[in-house]
Amino acid sequence: MEMKKFLLSVVALCAAIVFAGAAELSISPSVQILTPAEAHHPVLSPDGATLLFSTENHEGLYSYDMATKNVTLLDEGVAAGFEPVFSADCKKVYYQTAEMVDGLLCRDVRSAEVKSGKVKKVRKASREDVNLQAIEGKTYASTSASLKSIIITIDGKTTEIAPIEDAHSYLWPSLSPDRRKVLFNEPFKGVFICNIDGTGLEKVAERGDYPSWISDNAFVAVESKDDGYQVTTSVLKLYDLETGSSASLTHENLRVAELTTAPNTGDVVYSTVEGELYRTNIMIIR
């Protein structure tokens, strides 16, 4: 799909603009989220109320209340900040910590209450791979252990799809808010969407890390370029699936690292390579 670019200066002004005459787009200015130290690997709760983050090496898990701006250390364990998952009601967080047991690396499973910070061990340390989304969630998309397929669970019913015949791997799969589409990255081919049964495959971007839905027909992703040795530019981009339009939301001198979204509220939080966090809000009116 050929993407029609919009002027970055127009987007940066946060005025209402129109995607190819089909949608009114309103973007709030990016505001930095202040944290006591460097913050990496952001994870936003589905209701947009709580943000999780960690250190660069995933040591420790912190929560940030988006309303009060309070920061709480939930767990200082090793690897506690690696891909934590919110419960369906957003009241708890599930995560793992790592430890050596008889010379082998093992991981346990813990839960932390968002409001009180109370931590409970859910499963003792073991070598077993655990899908944290499956502990409580009934609707989600995740990759298989081999990364060679996408696991989709809707209302407790699970299916496995591999929409690209010669895919090297599938990364960052997620369900659209209406649960009809799957968005994912194939590291050597680009960003794709397909139906939840694997049909209707469509390439929507040449490249894009951490693709995340912002509505049923739009998503954001991190577009990076490199010189063969290191990343030279890395920007946050918005893609409109109905019109095939795209727009850069950050300047090239701000190196975006990862992102997370809450489609229900339109909130987007992204981190930078230097360990800063920024928040913006995107509203699309058809």
List the pLDDT tens digit at each of the 286 positions of the chain: 333 333 333 344 343 344 545 567 889 999 999 999 999 999 999 999 999 999 999 999 999 999 999 999 999 999 999 999 999 999 999 999 999 989 999 999 999 999 999 999 999 999 999 999 999 878 999 999 899 999 999 998 999 999 999 999 999 999 999 999 999 999 999 999 999 999 999 999 999 999 999 999 999 999 998 888 888 899 999 999 998 999 999 998 899 999 999 999 999 999 999 999 999 999 887 6
Distance CA 20, CA 3 (A): 11
* CB distance 142 to 133 below 8 Å: yes
Q: H/E element holding 128?
A: none
Handedness of CA 155, 186, 147, 198 (dihedral sign): positive
Task: For the chain, give every domain's residue range.
Answer: 4-73+133-285
Q: Which residues contact 5 (CB under 8 A, 6 or more apart)?
A: 245, 246, 247, 248
Question: Side by side, which strands form the sheet with 150-154?
Answer: 140-143, 150-154, 157-161
Reported pTM? 0.90
Amino acid, res. 271: S
Length of the chain: 286
Q: How many CB atoms lie within 10 A of CB 157?
A: 9
- The arrangement of secondary structure in 4-73+133-285, i.e. its CATH architecture, is 6 Propeller (2.120)
